[in-house]
Amino acid sequence: MRVRVAVDANQLDRFAPHTHPLWWGILGAVAIEAAVVATLLTSWFYLATQSAAWPPEGTAPPPILWPTVVLCLLPVSSMTMWWAGKGSDAGDARRLSLGLALSVLVACLVLGVRAVQMTAFDIRWDAHAYGSMLWVITGFHFTHVASAIVGTAAVTVLSFRGYFTPSRQLGVVVDTLYWYFVAAAYLPIYLVLYIAPRVLQ
């Protein structure tokens, strides 16, 4: 005999951030993407142990200036997102909209710096395993930042239109959660790609 379980959806709050399926969905997406980052960095170390020299002879580690600028800018964007979220909690639509817009601007600056950094690579993606890993990991995080900009830009537009309230801020919460992940994921990438080659040589 089959037992059917019925849930009265009328009793569920559409906008409750920490019980909504979208919140759990973002957590799942973050877990998957964190696993991908971990796998890429593990592959980097595996290939390093299998190589006579890492980076290969005649290949210098990528310049560290632009990656360090990105390392400083990403926490700034996280702070503006946090500030915007506090405005959402307080029902301050102006603070929310301004904080989101500032976050998008800072992230666009990050994306620009990343583009400059990548064009400055003197290593082709198909030159050797080291070059491939450098480009794949850098490109993967570049895509993260780009997707965060698109998502936050959409939330910003809704904010300026007065969509969010203290009881209806699910979009702000999940967008902020993903943003924190994008910023945090860059630290191990920075340490592995730009610090480790200089320390382990």
Q: Is residue 123 situated within a structural domain?
A: yes
And the tokens for 132?
């491939």
Q: Is residue 141 situated within a structural domain?
A: yes
Q: Is residue 50 situated within a structural domain?
A: no
Q: How many domains does the chain have?
A: 1
Name 78's Cβ contacts closer than 8 Å, sequence gap at least 6. 179, 180, 183
- What pLDDT sits at residue 122? 83
> What are the b/e assignments for 5-20, b being 16+ CB within 10 Å?
eeeeeeeeeebebeeb
Q: What are phi and psi of 175, to 5 degrees?
A: -65, -40
* Residue located via tokens 């991908």: 36
Number of helices (H) and strands (E), helices first, in the chain?
A: 6, 0
- What pLDDT sits at residue 133? 92
- What pLDDT sits at residue 201? 63
Rg of the chain, C-alpha, whole Å: 20
- What pLDDT sits at residue 75? 94
pTM comes to 0.83
Q: Is residue 10 situated within a structural domain?
A: no
Q: Is residue 49 situated within a structural domain?
A: no
- What pLDDT sits at residue 9? 46
Q: Is residue 104 situated within a structural domain?
A: yes
- What pLDDT sits at residue 8? 53
CA distance 193 to 110: 17
- What pLDDT sits at residue 50? 87
Q: Is residue 147 situated within a structural domain?
A: yes
Ranges under pLDDT 50 in the chain: 9-10, 12, 14
Q: Residue 158 sits in a domain of what CATH number?
A: 1.20.120.80
And the tokens for 166?
């203290």
Q: Is residue 70 situated within a structural domain?
A: yes
* Residue located via tokens 């340490």: 191
Domain interval for residue 157:
64-200
